[in-house]
């Protein structure tokens, strides 16, 4: 049977912890049932939900067992025309912004105590 082909729009619609898809090397995975069991936590999966998680998945250096497990959740392929239409995870950007906010807050608190008469 030929694999099911999904458009980017459809993949983008599965982005919650009770309905979570992501793409790895052009293949689509429904990891909804795995969200609670992921040793790397729920947030990492939510971070790539509805997006292309290839770089993120590979950068963790997942074990061979993890790669085999991944195949349990395979549901089909992304439409060839839509491969570049998927969002790339923005969570790294967000977390570095959080660091900036924390540093600014610490500076503000220190400044308050230094300036205080
Ligand atoms: C179905 C998809 C996935 C499966 C089956 C899976 C499986 C696993 C497994 C079995 C581990 C334990 C360590 C190992 O055996 O490699 C793990 C750890 C981890 N995974 Fe995943 N993973 C998946 C998707 C992802 C994605 C998309 C990301 C990144 C966005 C991610 C990030 C992590 C992180 C950060 C750890 C923790 C590493 C550590 O603390 O040592 N995983 N994953």
CB of 12 sitting under 6 A from ligand 1: no
CB of 66 sitting under 6 A from ligand 1: yes
Per-residue model confidence as pLDDT tens digits over 32-86: 999 999 999 999 999 999 999 999 999 999 999 999 999 999 999 999 999 989 8
Q: Would you tell me how many other CB atoms lie within 10 Å of the CB of residue 3?
A: 11
51 vs 115, higher pLDDT: 51
Domain ranges of the chain: 5-115
Q: Would you tell me how many other CB atoms lie within 10 Å of the CB of residue 76?
A: 17
Please tell me the residue having the least CA distance from ligand 1 atom 27. 57
CATH code of 5-115, in short, is: 3.10.120.10
Counting residues of the chain whose pLDDT is more than 90, the rounded percentage is 76
pTM: 0.79
Q: Is residue 50 exposed (0-12), middle (13-18) or buried (19+ Cβ within 10 Å)?
A: buried
CB of 39 sitting under 6 A from ligand 1: yes
CB of 65 sitting under 6 A from ligand 1: yes
């Amino acid at each position: 049977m030929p694999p099911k082909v999904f458009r980017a729009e459809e993949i983008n619609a599965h982005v919650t912890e009770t309905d979570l898809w992501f793409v790895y090397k052009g293949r689509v995975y429904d990891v909804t049932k795995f969200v609670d069991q992921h040793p790397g936590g729920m947030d990492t999966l939510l971070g790539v939900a509805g997006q292309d998680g290839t770089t993120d998945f590979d950068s963790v250096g997942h074990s061979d067992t993890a790669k085999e497990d991944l195949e349990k959740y395979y549901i089909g392929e992304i439409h060839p025309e839509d491969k570049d239409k998927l969002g790339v995870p923005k969570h790294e950007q967000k977390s570095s912004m959080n660091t900036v906010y924390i540093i600014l807050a610490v500076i503000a608190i220190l400044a308050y105590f230094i300036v205080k008469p």
